[in-house]
Structure 1
Amino acid sequence: MTRFAKPWYRKGRGWYLEIDGKQVKLADDRDQAFDRYHKLMAGQSPTGTPVSSVIDSFLDWCMHNRAERTFDWHKERCDSFWQHLKSLGLSVLTVEELRPFHLDAWLRTHPGWSPGMQRGALVSIQRAFNWAIKQGLIVTSPIEGLEKPPQGRRENVIAPATYQVILEHVKGQAFRDLLITAWEIGCRPQEIVRVEARHFNQGRWVFPKEESKGKKRIRVVHLTPTAEEITKRRAQQFPDGPIFRNRAGRPWHPWAINCRFCRLQKKIGKKFALVDFRHSFVTRLLKEGVDPITIGALCGHADLSMIARVYAHVHQDAEHLRKALMKGA
């Protein structure tokens, strides 16, 4: 009979057992874990691959093979799903037992999630199972072909007058610096929350290839005088680590930024996001007649078709089109 090593506990992760050189999660609960272990020792077939094992293995792989922000993105969603299963007493749910309705029930516990957030959550879980198939951990995915909400498109363009109203209601210097810089240079949200003093170089942020989106080329973010002044001041204040931090001195986290925008919504009546400042930057430049090639370079777009695809709403602005018409009259 095959002999197995004894189960061991991995702090915060549950009970594991090594089988044929692979670490397999048995369960979070000790009694359930040893029950599965004794069945294996007795030569009985295991009830199936635990969902928890797939998720843990996927996150371990992401930690070592993907960018930190990608790992964090998946971890937040996978942990949320796993906590939902545990709350229903389904900590030993197997891949064979998992059904789409389990994910639907999970989404219904988050009524505040937009269709885009729901789609992202489902994509993350689905990706974990697709990865497990490629790795040979499972044969098929029980959620292949899972129906997801449409992607949707944010067209929350911030007009200059609205921007001034936003600033009037933001009193804290830390959040003001974040918003003003985002408005001035149109960088990606992940760039502004991760920029450090070492990236600042002669009026620019320079991210090396391994730290840029896609990790294929150096990303240069050009600064306006206002953005440069803020960068210099914050780099002196925080010479190590991210320079944009909240009033407590902690680096901004996406959830914390979202929380600030939710509080701002109560004052101005509309919800915005940091990415809206990037979209508004591009929209302003297009309306001012800046060519798409230059805008694409400023924003770090590798494919200029992104400008035409995402910012097509500019061509639906009647006032803008009327002004363009009068220029040629």
Structure 2
Amino acid sequence: MARQPKPYYRRAQKRWVCTIDGKRITLGEDKKQAFEKYHGLMLDRQAVRAELCTLNQLAQAYLDWVAQNRKQPTYDKHRHYLKSCIEALGKTMKPGSLKPHHLTTWTNKGTWNCTTRNDAITIVQRMLNWSVEQGYLAASPIQKMKKPKAKRREIVYTPEQWKQIRSHATGPLIPLLDFMWGTGCRPKEARTLQAKHVHDELIIFPPDESKGEADSRVIFLTPETQSIVAPFLAHRRAGVLFVNSRGNPWTKDSIKSRLTRISEKVGFRVIAYGARHSYATNALIRSVDTVSLSHLMGHKDTRMINNYAHLAQNVEFLKTQARAACGLQPR
């Protein structure tokens, strides 16, 4: 009969350890707790796998999966946060040793706001949940960890503010902004739009080019937004339609740079997503129902509309709605 491994004490490390499947596993300083952990490992072979792998190894395996199954921006974002996490916690930390306070300490950086901290912890949680699904872990050690609440980007422009923004835009930036304002599309959809996506009054991004990669993304064009696109369709049958003054596709950073300069001129923050938020808010003010609006904006249900519809900022509209709720006529 094969000899069963038993815990033994390593004086140099002042730790109880055992060797299972040729791998040494640290059990801790206390003898009683070490033997309890050892017996638990012998009963649960999946727990042995969790003790043998490190967070760094899990992160590498997870990133390999993300690279094959998700888009490049998603991979870049996950790699950025996981790399930062491993650098802070160390490459030898085991999943079983991970506690919520480790992530709290890691994310409590002066330059990180609550939204960034939320994103960072969420990505670590996703990596650990993936590890459970793949059989690397029996359970996530931080499944119930409370995260800092992400702040909504409370940026909505009135039509008057948008006129200010547009008045300071120049050249090829103008039609790009007009298109985003008139369709409520995502900035990425505007800067990646090609002639092949345009079908008369519709713009259709196939599932592999749409957010979530599950369904086609349909953008509905009005006569006004059709007139914005038409001149580009006549001259650019290949490649993206909206390009900068050098003829190159707009990038997220180049748009941000231009809008930052406009922010300094108008005296308030200008971001590309502000056009999308404003589209949703103005649509609700004009009594567009939430189900229709969710379709127009490319959402599967109405829950996400609450992230864009900042009606609390429109006091006059809410006053009118309050009177309507009581059966009173508008003033």
State the TM-score, normalized to the length of structure 1. Answer: 0.70
Identity, % of aligned pairs?
A: 30
- 1:126-157 deviation line (CA, Å, top 9, x unaligned): 10111011101233434333331113333322
3-state SS of paired residue (1:121)? helix
The one-letter code of the counterpart of 2:192 is R
Aligned residue in 2 for 1:76: 77
Q: Find the aligned partners of 1:74 and 1:194 in 2 and give their Cα distance.
A: 19
- Asked if the contact 2:82–2:123 (Cα under 8 Å) also holds between the matched residues in 1, the reply is no
- 1:1-24 deviation line (CA, Å, top 9, x unaligned): xxxxxxxxxxxxxxxxxxxxxxxx
3-state SS of paired residue (2:24)? coil
Aligned residue in 1 for 2:48: none
Aligned residue in 2 for 1:103: 103
- 1:192-212 deviation line (CA, Å, top 9, x unaligned): 233222101113211224433
- 1:266-321 deviation line (CA, Å, top 9, x unaligned): 333333433321121122222233344443332233324554x4466436733124
What does 1:279-318 correspond to in 2, within 5 Å? 279-304=277-302, 306-307=304-305, 309-310=306-307, 313-314=310-311, 317-318=314-315
Q: Out of 300, 316, 320, which is 1:319 matched to? A: 316
Unpaired runs of 5+ residues, structure 2, are 1-18, 27-51
CA RMSD after TM alignment: 3.5
Alpha-carbon deviation of 1:91? 4.2
Q: Find the aligned partners of 2:128 and 2:120 in 1 and give their Cα distance.
A: 13
Q: Find the aligned partners of 1:76 and 1:212 in 2 and give their Cα distance.
A: 18
Alpha-carbon deviation of 1:61? 1.5
Aligned residue in 2 for 1:37: none
Aligned residue in 1 for 2:155: 156
Q: Find the aligned partners of 2:22 and 2:312 in 1 and give their Cα distance.
A: 68
Unpaired runs of 5+ residues, structure 1, are 1-39
Q: Which has the larger radius of gyration?
A: 2
Distance verdict in 2 for CA 1:311–1:194, change over 3 Å: closer
3-state SS of paired residue (1:205)? strand
Q: Find the aligned partners of 2:199 and 2:229 in 1 and give their Cα distance.
A: 10
Q: Find the aligned partners of 1:106 and 1:258 in 2 and give their Cα distance.
A: 28
Distance verdict in 2 for CA 1:290–1:126, change over 3 Å: closer
- Asked if the contact 1:59–1:75 (Cα under 8 Å) also holds between the matched residues in 2, the reply is no
Q: Find the aligned partners of 2:330 and 2:266 in 1 and give their Cα distance.
A: 38
- Asked if the contact 1:81–1:106 (Cα under 8 Å) also holds between the matched residues in 2, the reply is no
3-state SS of paired residue (1:162)? helix
Aligned residue in 2 for 1:23: none
Q: Find the aligned partners of 1:203 and 1:109 in 2 and give their Cα distance.
A: 48
Q: Find the aligned partners of 2:101 and 2:254 in 1 and give their Cα distance.
A: 31
Distance verdict in 2 for CA 1:255–1:315, change over 3 Å: same
State the TM-score, normalized to the length of structure 2. Answer: 0.69
Q: Out of 177, 181, 184, which is 2:182 matched to? A: 184
What does 1:132-147 correspond to in 2, within 5 Å? 132-147=131-146
